[in-house]
Amino acid sequence: MKQKVWNKVYSVIFADYLSKIITKKMKEGTVKFFNEAKGFGFVRETSTGQEYFVHATGLIDKVRENDEITFDLKEGRKGLNAVDVKLAK
């Protein structure tokens, strides 16, 4: 009996976890500035106008100024950083 209850609890927790992953939406924006030689730059989120630091290690695709991109945010040492930055399709 206890095993069936725990299986049900785990199923509910796992379903909730999956729904959060599936519904996660990447942010959209543009590259404001990126210096390839120094390996960093800034991106601007389209919906809010907020700007975020991006390091070369956070890039999936090669980017240039004014490129339209999608990205996620991750807490860095000095605030939020753009990560998983890729060109918008």
Say whether pLDDT at 17 is over 90: no
pTM above the 0.75 mark?
no
Q: What is the pLDDT of residue 72?
A: 95
Say whether pLDDT at 87 is over 70: yes
Say whether pLDDT at 83 is over 90: yes
Q: Give the span between the Cα atoms of 73 and 89, in whole angstroms.
A: 19
CB 89 within 8 A of CB 67: no
The residue ranking higher by pLDDT, 23 or 69, is: 69
CA atoms within 13 A on the CB side of 3: 0
Tokens 């730059």 correspond to 41
Say whether pLDDT at 25 is over 90: no
